[in-house]
Amino acid sequence: MSELLLPPLDAWNEPFWEGCREGRLRIQRCTETGRLIFPPRPFSPFAPHGRPEWADVSGNGTIWSFAIPHPPLLPAYAEMAPYNVVAVALDADPRVRLIGNLVGAPGASPGELDPAEIAIGARVRVVFEPVAEEIHLPRWVL
């Protein structure tokens, strides 16, 4: 596969990526309201004094939306095309939605899954795919 476009690691998102490397989905939680916060940030958007803390969540959720890019807009993803992109509403807080790919099995390519198998409302769980030394991407299986 060509070089993927990967997010930069920084002080705010490193605990998220560390959790992914360990096979755990970690999301920030506001200490004042208990609401989940994503993407990671230094302050809670929900309370003036709520400081984010990291919490493990189940990694279970529901497909909220999806798309099948045709043709791929980014050359690094051309050999996977057509591939899927899903937005998953987490069970821990359905207002938090993570973007990723639905795969048929851990380690499978998103381009291998028949798009007809994807449905809004389908139940999914997270799996983690190492794509670089420091980055294990959350992906989803039915």
Portion of the chain with pLDDT greater than 70, in percent: 97
Asked if pLDDT for residue 15 goes beyond 70, the answer is: yes
Question: In angstroms, how far apart are the furthest CA atoms of the chain?
Answer: 47
CA-closest candidate to residue 140, choices 69, 97, 64, 86: 86
Model confidence at 1, in pLDDT bands (50, 70, 90)?
A: very low
Residue 17 parent element (H or E): helix 14-21
SS3 78: helix
For residue 93, count other CB atoms closer than 10 A to its CB. Answer: 17
Q: pLDDT tens for residues 75-99?
A: 878 877 889 999 999 999 999 999 9
How far apart CA 114 and CA 100 sit, in angstroms, is 16
Task: Please tell me the pTM assigned to this model.
Answer: 0.92
Q: pLDDT tens for residues 24-51?
A: 999 999 999 999 999 999 999 999 888 8
CA-closest candidate to residue 130, choices 139, 119, 118, 121: 139
Between 72 and 63, whose confidence is greater? 63
> Residue 26 gets which letter from DSSP?
E
Residues with Cβ within 8 Å of residue 72, at least 6 apart in sequence? 78, 80, 81, 82, 83
Give the pLDDT confidence score for residue 72 in this predicted structure: 66
Asked if pLDDT for residue 4 goes beyond 90, the answer is: no
Give the pLDDT confidence score for residue 124 in this predicted structure: 98
